[in-house]
Structure 1
Amino acid sequence: MKPPLKRRVPKARNPFVTLALARSAGTHTKTPRARRQAEKRALRKRLEDQ
């Protein structure tokens, strides 16, 4: 009689990798939309101060 086959235990995965890939991790620059909105706010503030 053959001995039973050993079951392989799946390798532990880092749960943060999938989250990082989903939110494009590593970028530390503002998006073009955020930059545009910041410029608009700055312009309004300068016009109000005049």
Structure 2
Amino acid sequence: MKFTIATAKPRNPLVAPTRMRQAGRHDRGDRSQRQRGRNELRRELKLADSDRHGP
């Protein structure tokens, strides 16, 4: 009588080194910096416009 034991699916050899690396916080992307700059510009223009036209 011959017994066969089903083995587990082989693991991906690239996953272990990737999970061992220290993942840190990433810098803000260019898109978010552009968006922030655009919002600041709009805020300044709105403030300048309200100062020009008065209350």
TM-score, structure 1 normalization: 0.48
Question: Of the two, which has the highest radius of gyration?
Answer: 2
